[in-house]
Chain A
Amino acid sequence: MNQMPTRPFTTGPAPLTRRALAKQQTRQRLLAAAKQLVTERGYEAATVRDIAAAADLSTGAVFASFSDKAELFNEVIIADYAALLERMNSVAAGENSTHATLRKLLALAYEFHAGELPLVQAVIGFSWQRDAAIERRNREGVTLILARLSEVLRGGVESGELAPTLDIDLIAEMLWDSYVANYRRAIFDGWDLEALGDRIANQIDVLLDGYQNAA
Chain B
Amino acid sequence: MVLGVRAARKQATRDRVLAVARELFQDVGYEETTIRMVAKGAGVSVGSVFTTFSGKAEILSQVMDDRLDTLYAELDRVIPHLRGPTVDRLRSVMAVHYGFEMRRPRMFLAYIGASFAWSPGKVIPVGRNARLQGMLRDILVAGVESQEVRPDADQQTFIDVMLASYFWNYRLASQQGLDAEALIAVMDRQIGLLFDGVAAR
A171 to B190, CA, bound (A): 8
Q: Are A171 and B117 in contact (CB under 8 A)?
A: no
Check: A132 CB closer than 8 A to any chain B CB.
yes
Check: A49 CB closer than 8 A to any chain B CB.
no
The DSSP consensus for interface residues of chain B is: helix
Q: Are A205 and B117 in contact (CB under 8 A)?
A: no
How many contacting A-B pairs (Cβ < 8 A)? 108
A165 to B160, CA, bound (A): 24
Q: Which residues of A contact B160 (CB under 8 A)?
A: 178, 181, 199, 203
Q: Are B120 and A207 in contact (CB under 8 A)?
A: no
Among B113, B120, B190, B195, contact of A128 (Cβ-Cβ < 8 Å): B113
Q: Are B164 and A177 in contact (CB under 8 A)?
A: yes
Q: Are A121 and B117 in contact (CB under 8 A)?
A: yes
Check: B197 CB closer than 8 A to any chain A CB.
yes
Q: Are A128 and B112 in contact (CB under 8 A)?
A: yes
Q: Are A184 and B113 in contact (CB under 8 A)?
A: no
A184 to B168, CA, bound (A): 13
Q: Are B114 and A167 in contact (CB under 8 A)?
A: no
Among B154, B161, B189, contact of A178 (Cβ-Cβ < 8 Å): B161
Given the known interface contacts A181-B127, A206-B197, the answer about A174 and B190 at a Cβ–Cβ threshold of 8 Å is yes
Q: Which residues of B contact A188 (CB under 8 A)?
A: 120, 125
Q: Are A178 and B165 in contact (CB under 8 A)?
A: yes
Q: Which residues of B contact A173 (CB under 8 A)?
A: 165, 168
A139 to B79, CA, bound (A): 36
Q: Which residues of B contact A124 (CB under 8 A)?
A: 113, 116
Chain B interface extent, by class: 35 or more
Q: Are B113 and A132 in contact (CB under 8 A)?
A: no
Check: B109 CB closer than 8 A to any chain A CB.
yes
Check: A40 CB closer than 8 A to any chain B CB.
no
How many chain A residues touch B (CB < 8 A): the figure is 39
Among B30, B110, B193, B197, contact of A170 (Cβ-Cβ < 8 Å): B193
Check: B167 CB closer than 8 A to any chain A CB.
yes
Q: In this complex, what residue of A is CB-closest to B186? A: A170
Q: Which residues of A contact B141 (CB under 8 A)?
A: none
Q: Are B198 and A209 in contact (CB under 8 A)?
A: yes
Check: B147 CB closer than 8 A to any chain A CB.
no
Q: Which residues of B contact A211 (CB under 8 A)?
A: 196-197
Q: Which residue among A176, A202, A208 has the maximum number of chain B CB atoms within 10 Å of its CB?
A: A202
Q: Which residues of B contact A209 (CB under 8 A)?
A: 196-198
**Shortest distance between the CB of A186 and any CB in chain B (Å):** 11
Interface residues of A in 157-215 (CB under 8 A from B): 167, 170-171, 173-174, 176-178, 180-182, 184, 187-189, 199, 202-203, 205-211
Q: Jot down 20 A-B pairs with beta carbons below 8 A, ordered by A.
A: A121-B116, A122-B117, A125-B117, A126-B113, A127-B171, A128-B109, A128-B171, A129-B31, A129-B113, A135-B175, A180-B164, A182-B164, A184-B116, A184-B125, A187-B120, A188-B125, A203-B160, A206-B157, A206-B161, A211-B196
Point out residues on B near A: beta carbons under 8 Å. Answer: 30-31, 109-110, 112-114, 116-117, 120, 125, 127, 154, 157-158, 160-161, 163-165, 167-168, 170-171, 174-175, 189-190, 193-199
Point out residues on A near B: beta carbons under 8 Å. Answer: 42, 44, 121-122, 124-129, 132, 135-136, 139, 167, 170-171, 173-174, 176-178, 180-182, 184, 187-189, 199, 202-203, 205-211
The 9 closest A-B pairs by CB, nearest first: A210-B196, A128-B113, A209-B197, A181-B164, A177-B168, A210-B197, A125-B116, A177-B164, A178-B164
